[in-house]
Structures are given as C-alpha cells and as structure tokens.
Amino acid sequence: MNALADLDFHTLTIPFRQRFSHASASRDATASVWVTATTRAGHVGYGEACPRPYVTGETLDSARVFFHAVRDDVLANIRDAASLADWVTHHAARIDAAPAAWCAIELALIDALARDANQTAEAWLGLPETTGEFRYSAVLGDAPPGFFAANFARYRAAGFTDYKLKLVGDLTRDRAKLAVLDDPAVARLRLDANNLWNDANAALAYLDALGAPAFAVEEPLAVERAAELPRLARALDTAIILDESLTRIEQLAALEPGVRWIANLRVSKLGGLTRTLALLDAARARGVGIIVGAQVGETSLLTRAGLTVAHAAGTALLAQEGAFGTQLLYGDVITPSLMFGMGGWLDFTAAGAGWGLACAPEEAWLGP
C-alpha cells in the first residue's frame, strides 16, 4: 500500500517588514506555493516554492494547475526515495515547465516520507547529514538613499563583510549606492543586474562607467542574449554569475570554456532538491563555482533546503544568500525561524525526522 494519503495545495502570503526592489520586480509580501503531504501513518510534511514569471515563467495560478495535473499520479506512484527519483527522471519535461510548482511538492514529500521512516531528510535521501556553520551574504536591493544607507549600516554593525548589490541601470542611483559601500567593512562585492540589458555593448559601457570594484556580475543580459556573456566576461575581466540563464542541467554543456562561470543555485528555480543536487554535481565537475541563492520572501523551509545544497557544495561554495527569516518577514512558518546572526553566520545541525522543523503557518497567511 502506498504510504501517501493526501496532498494539499495553498498559496502563502506573509507581509514583509519593508519593500524589496530590484530591476525585475518589487514586492512587499511573499507570493509562494505551500504544499502539505500527509501519509497514511498521519505524518505531515511541508513544501514551499516561489514561482516567478521573470525567472521560470510561472505564476501562482500556473503552479496550481500543475499541482492538480500531477497530484493523483504522485499519490499513486511515489512511496520512497527511489520512486521519487524515478518520477523526477521520467517527468523531466513536465518539471522543466513548472519547476517551482514541483519543488513545493517534492519538499513536502521528502518531509512526510522521511518522518514516516523516522529519518532526517538527508538520511532518507542517502545524503550526509547537514551540519556546520554557514555564512550568508548581505543583499542590498534598490531603496531611497536614506533607507539604503540605513540598511547598509545595519549590515555593517552586524559584522557582514560579503555584499551583493542589486543594480537598477541608473548611473546616478547606482553610483550613489556604491559610494555608501565604499567602506572598509565591504571585503567583497558582487553585482546583480537582473537581466537589465539587451545588448552586450550597452552592458559593457554601463559597467565600465560604473567602475564598481566587484569580483563578479550576475545576469547582466536578458536571458535570450546569454550567448553574448562570454564576450562580456572577457571585456570586463570578471566572473559571470548565472541565475535566470541556468535553470536546467542541460544548459551547462553550452558554457564556453575559459570563462569564470558561477552558478546561482536556487532550489525553487531548479525544480526541487534532487534536481538542484544533480546540477550542483555537474557544475562542480566542470569547475563552475557555486552560490546557493534564495528567492526574496522565502520562509525558513526553503532556507532549510538551501542548507542541504550548501553543505553538499563543499569547497565549491563561494557565497550563500537568504536566511532572512523574521528580519524580513512579519512572521515565519517555522519556529524558531532559521536566520543568520552576527556576521551572517548560521549554526545548524539537523535534528529530528524530515526537515526537523516545527511548522505552523498562520491560517491568515494561507490561501486557496
């Protein structure tokens, strides 16, 4: 008899403490998918994902459609780690079209079935346990000058040294932000353009004029112009971070040798944990550096999945993003919230079955 008894779909909306903006979007609350999986033994598992039209072409509505299209098949055929891996392999094309929607389902299945087996998620998947100290980057989006300076001051006071700056494509505004970051506390800086430019020459002219002391630039070009990234990387003599341009493992084969590539791996974007770990292994084999990224508005559940990826990355890990918890959200589905502390550090050891987290989303946050 199959171990799974039920799967349920909800939307999850939690207000932010402050609006977060970048070149592709601005938001003041989460816009997430929330899935619960219940086993016949009564164990409940939870999954989360963040569908974004400008990342994977998904919306909350399209995620709901995917969920209902696969629900019965998932309930009938997934019972353990082997059958989960088999389902992911045989439905690759469907997941390619709805990676965030599948991510929420998969995370819930892992949690519920691992709880049934009284194992941590890692043990159930046959992975080493996730444990250790993890250090997160400061991420600064677009904000009015006073708010931006205040945000930086909070990071600096908390001992952060690694920074990511979101560009908006306005030299005056971006230079003003760089002037604030001209501070000894900023030991390393990377830029994120969120696919600002449709032309490599325009991107090169802007970034040359900006003159930021950054070691890497993330997604400077529109996704459809990704073939121009190697030329831009050589002209700028910088590393290129791939995010929206790297959503499937097959895309690694097209990366031109000799370029300093870095992959920004986000579990929601890549279609769940098992696909993310597979892409991680393939990227490391090609010498591609790793950043474990996060969607703005993730709760501690996706932070937990990201920790598994960061631990698996080992020495290839260059930076980690997310773990804002209730420093950004007015509330969290997890108690206590998984979030960085002083210096960006988060000390974590997996404890308990499944994700090992006490989960209780407020009813007011859940929608159909």
Residue 99's pLDDT is what?
Answer: 98
Q: For 172-226, how does the pLDDT look when each residue is reduced to its tens digit (9 = 90+)?
A: 999 999 999 999 999 999 999 999 999 999 999 999 999 999 999 999 999 999 9
Q: What is the pLDDT of residue 27?
A: 63
The answer to whether the Cα torsion of 252, 254, 260, 264 is positive or negative is: negative
Indicate where the chain has its CATH 3.20.20.120 domain(s): 131-364
| Calpha distance 308→322 (Å, rounded) | 13
The DSSP bridge partners found for residue 335 are 358
- Do 84 and 274 form a contact (C-beta atoms < 8 A)? yes
Q: Look at residue 22 in the predicted model and tell me its pLDDT.
A: 53
Yes or no: say if 75 and 6 are a contact pair by the CB < 8 Å rule.
yes
Please state, for a pLDDT cut of 90, what percent of the chain lies above it: 90
How far apart, in whole angstroms, are the C-alpha atoms of residue 192 and residue 196? 9
Nearest alpha carbon to residue 280 among 254, 259, 249, 256: 249
Backbone angles phi, psi at 309, to 5 degrees: -65, -45
pLDDT score recorded for residue 1 = 59
**Residue 151 CA: distances (Å) to CA of 81, 143, 154, 163, 261:** 43, 9, 5, 12, 29
pLDDT over threshold 80, residue 18: no
pLDDT for position 346: 98
pLDDT for 20 equals 57
User: Which regions of the chain carry the CATH code 3.30.390.10?
Assistant: 4-119
- Identify the CA nearest to 133 among candidates 359, 355, 343: 343
Q: What CATH number has the domain spanning 131-364?
A: 3.20.20.120
Contact 330, 362 (CB under 8 A): no
Please tell me the predicted confidence (pLDDT) of residue 81.
97
Tokens representing residue 6 in the block: 């039920």
At the top level of CATH, the class of 4-119 is alpha beta
Q: What is the pLDDT of residue 170?
A: 96
Query: DSSP string covering 278-293, please?
Result: HHHHHHHHTT-EEEE-
Q: Structure pTM?
A: 0.95
37: helix, strand or coil: strand
Contact 364, 325 (CB under 8 A): no
Integer angstrom CA distances of residue 101 from 20, 59, 180, 243: 23, 9, 39, 18
CB atoms < 10 A from the CB of 182, how many? 9
Residue 241 has a pLDDT of 98
How does DSSP assign 206-236, residue by residue?
A: HHHHH----SEEE--B-GGGGGGHHHHHHHH
Per-residue pLDDT reduced to its tens digit, 318-364: 999 999 999 989 999 998 899 999 999 999 998 899 999 999 899 88
pLDDT in tens, 234-281: 999 999 999 999 999 999 999 999 999 999 999 999 999 999 999 999
What is the Cα–Cα distance from 343 to 364, expressed in whole angstroms?
Answer: 33
Q: What is the pLDDT of residue 187?
A: 98
pLDDT score at 24: 55
| Spatial contact of 290 and 283, defined as CB atoms under 8 Å apart | yes
CB neighbourhood size of 91 (10 A):
15
- CA 284, CA 306: separation in Å to the nearest integer? 17
